Structure 1
Amino acid sequence: MSASGGNKAIIAALTANLAIAVSKFVAAFFTGSSSMLAEGIHSVADSGNQLLLLIGGKRAQRERDKSHPFGYGRERYFYAFVVAVVLFTIGAAFSLYEGVTKIVHPHDVESPIWAFAVLIFAIIAEGFSFRTAIMESNPLRGKQSWVTFIRRSKSPELPVILLEDLGALLGLIFALFGVTMAVITGDGVWDGIGTLMIGVLLAVIAVVLAIETKSLLMGEGASSEMEQQIRAALESTPEVDRVIHMRTMHLGPEELLVAAKIAVSHDDSASEVARGIDEAERRIREAVPIARVIYLEPDLDRSHTPTA
């Protein structure tokens, strides 16, 4: 994912959420609706999350140093994980608490026209943000399903924004459902039910994000397609007989570490082996440009060594 593409989706989501948060709090003040209050907190949490993603992207661009010889690329994964924690602790926990409180102690929704007007505005704004995230994701997604893209993407920003925007749209629908039912029936319990639904939704999204970003933080390897390209590049090098074993790990979304033990002929001189390693590295970088850190260890091809 290009930084500009990810930032465009983040800024679109941040702009929409700040405007929506203000309108939701105004509606919550005039209506006394817990669904609207929960949605306001949800938008504030989302806005904070988008700021965290921007900070993570900026910090990840720092040059490698003595204490971090492989650079800071994985800071993007850390901040994406923090987003999941914030979404759960602030968004989900508050909504669940507020929903239970309003179910136990319900009260009527006052001036519902405020709630309906704000919810319609918010749905339009979130729809714009969601559309931007989809458009930025499509070139990277290719023919993958959305579920596969979110699970396999090594760039955390777009999957996070996609899930946040989807959650925001569904949350608005839940809030609209709760407020509408409360107005129709005259029973404020429905408002609490809508709030509870928002809390459960945010908790589910937060757990999904936490699982996916935890995997990236732990150090994910290259995709199977990328590993095949690397192996093919190595084995196409004349001085390399075969790949004995290979390990890969993402140091960041656009930086891959490749470590491999390669078999060379026992008749090759040291200079020939060195030239072969240089050529193999060139071919790997040509096939997989994000392979920035490459370590190749030559070994004798014992499977073809003549026996006495």
Structure 2
Amino acid sequence: MAAHSGSKTVIYAALAGNFLIAATKFVAAFFTGSSAMLSEGVHSLVDTGNGGLLLFGMHRAARPADRTHPFGHGRELYFWSFIVALLVFALGAGVSFYEGVIHILEPEPIRNVSVTYIVLGLSMLFEGFSWFVALKEFRITKGRLGYIEAVRLSKDPSVFTVLFEDSAALLGLGIAFAGIVASQIFEMPELDGVASIGIAVILGLTAIFLARESKGLLMGEAALPEMQEAILGIAQADPAIRGANGVITVHLGPNQIVAALSLEFEDHASAPDIEACVIRLETTVRTELPEVVALFVKPQTPATWQERRAALAD
């Protein structure tokens, strides 16, 4: 629950910042005629909508299990994260690219350029604050892992989605600033359109990366090795179990894991002994590892387990 609380703080900060930035950029684009500024306004508007979709996904994912979804609705967050990536690509990158091409084919000088610089400065300030909040939360969740590795292993897309969107926004602002300055220095308004295309490329690459990560989560990723080792350790400590062969896990949500244990029980263990052991395992795992929402146990010899794992690897 603490992770979700932190995620919501990041998203609320991004929502407030992006809404104010989008309104400011659209007003500036209207008064200046800047293509890059209009592209940045669309970008911030898309980011605002994306924050709302992530909050909606978190709300839907928190619903309890029911008859049609016996393991809960955790993957709804992954679905809406994938939709966010598509929107960044289709709306953010698509509109920016279109605006860039139009302003290259039909260039118009930027009016009231001083207004543009003021808006860019304010946008960088607001966006920087949102980015700092997201980075601070991500540093807490990533631990000792590197940034890229932490994103690849993360099971909660809400924080790194906002972080990457804000990073793309800051890069886009830098490109917009460079394009506007260059168009003024060289008296080539086409460069403003080129900046819009540059923004589109940044957004497109960001969207592809986010879509790739969300796709992996939607398909079902295994729990981190530390979690798997903790489950095996609990099983191995039970006196009725001779050996814990292995465990298969899958994330249904950031804090929802289904685990299947392969165990070899002691030869003298009777059916009631095995049943009591399974109950003990479920109780201990539920207490020590509340993320595990379902635990399945399969009695197997080590040889049988290895054969099944080898078949899966092939």
Give the alignment's TM-score, normalised by structure 1: 0.94
1:95-123 Cα distance to aligned partner (Å, 9 max, x none) = 11111222222221111011100000000
Identical-pair percentage = 38
Which stretch has the larger CA shift, 182-191 or 101-110?
Answer: 101-110
What secondary structure is seen at the aligned counterpart in 2 of 1:229?
A: helix
Residues 22 and 45, structure 2, Cα contact 8 Å, conserved in 1 = yes
CA distance in structure 1 between the aligned counterparts of 2:302 and 2:188, rounded to whole angstroms: 78
What secondary structure is seen at the aligned counterpart in 1 of 2:25?
A: helix
Residues 107 and 187, structure 1, Cα contact 8 Å, conserved in 2 = no
What secondary structure is seen at the aligned counterpart in 1 of 2:241?
A: coil
Residues 260 and 295, structure 2, Cα contact 8 Å, conserved in 1 = yes
CA distance in structure 1 between the aligned counterparts of 2:58 and 2:254, rounded to whole angstroms: 11
CA distance in structure 1 between the aligned counterparts of 2:36 and 2:125, rounded to whole angstroms: 18
One-letter amino acid of the structure 2 residue matched with residue 10 of structure 1: I
Show the counterpart of 2:310. none
CA distance in structure 2 between the aligned counterparts of 1:302 and 1:77, rounded to whole angstroms: 36
One-letter amino acid of the structure 2 residue matched with residue 53 of structure 1: L
1:56-81 Cα distance to aligned partner (Å, 9 max, x none) = 01111112111111110110000000
One-letter amino acid of the structure 1 residue matched with residue 61 of structure 2: A
One-letter amino acid of the structure 1 residue matched with residue 114 of structure 2: I
Show the counterpart of 1:33. 34
CA distance in structure 1 between the aligned counterparts of 2:252 and 2:68, rounded to whole angstroms: 15
Is 1:241 matched up with 2:242? Answer: yes
CA distance in structure 2 between the aligned counterparts of 1:217 and 1:157, rounded to whole angstroms: 14
Query: What are structure 1's unaligned runs of at least 5 residues?
Result: 304-308
1:217-276 Cα distance to aligned partner (Å, 9 max, x none) = 001111122212211221121111112342100111001100122111221112211222
Show the counterpart of 1:257. 258
Which stretch has the larger CA shift, 270-279 or 255-264?
Answer: 270-279
Question: Does the C-alpha gap of structure 1 residues 272 and 133 become closer, same or farther in structure 2, counting only changes over 3 Å?
Answer: same
Show the counterpart of 1:280. 281
Residues 1-308 of structure 1 aligned to structure 2 (within 5 Å): 2-299=3-300
Which stretch has the larger CA shift, 127-136 or 239-248?
Answer: 239-248
CA distance in structure 2 between the aligned counterparts of 1:116 and 1:213, rounded to whole angstroms: 36
CA distance in structure 2 between the aligned counterparts of 1:294 and 1:72, rounded to whole angstroms: 17
CA distance in structure 2 between the aligned counterparts of 1:45 and 1:135, rounded to whole angstroms: 23
1:25 shift after superposition: 0.6
Residues 123 and 169, structure 1, Cα contact 8 Å, conserved in 2 = yes
Residues 235 and 241, structure 2, Cα contact 8 Å, conserved in 1 = yes
One-letter amino acid of the structure 1 residue matched with residue 6 of structure 2: G
What secondary structure is seen at the aligned counterpart in 2 of 1:241?
A: strand
Show the counterpart of 2:309. none
CA distance in structure 2 between the aligned counterparts of 1:65 and 1:242, rounded to whole angstroms: 34
1:113-134 Cα distance to aligned partner (Å, 9 max, x none) = 1110000000000000011111
CA distance in structure 2 between the aligned counterparts of 1:197 and 1:251, rounded to whole angstroms: 37
Residues 259 and 296, structure 2, Cα contact 8 Å, conserved in 1 = yes
Question: Does the C-alpha gap of structure 1 residues 120 and 300 become closer, same or farther in structure 2, counting only changes over 3 Å?
Answer: closer
Residues 247 and 259, structure 2, Cα contact 8 Å, conserved in 1 = yes
Residues 259 and 295, structure 1, Cα contact 8 Å, conserved in 2 = yes
1:106-165 Cα distance to aligned partner (Å, 9 max, x none) = 221111011100000000000000111112222211111111121111011001000000
CA distance in structure 2 between the aligned counterparts of 1:69 and 1:285, rounded to whole angstroms: 17
One-letter amino acid of the structure 2 residue matched with residue 188 of structure 1: P
Residues 232 and 246, structure 2, Cα contact 8 Å, conserved in 1 = no
CA distance in structure 2 between the aligned counterparts of 1:167 and 1:75, rounded to whole angstroms: 25
1:285 shift after superposition: 3.5
1:299 shift after superposition: 4.0
What secondary structure is seen at the aligned counterpart in 1 of 2:244?
A: strand
Give the alignment's TM-score, normalised by structure 2: 0.93
After superposition, the CA RMSD in angstroms is: 1.5
Show the counterpart of 2:308. none
Residues 71 and 293, structure 2, Cα contact 8 Å, conserved in 1 = no
CA distance in structure 2 between the aligned counterparts of 1:231 and 1:245, rounded to whole angstroms: 7
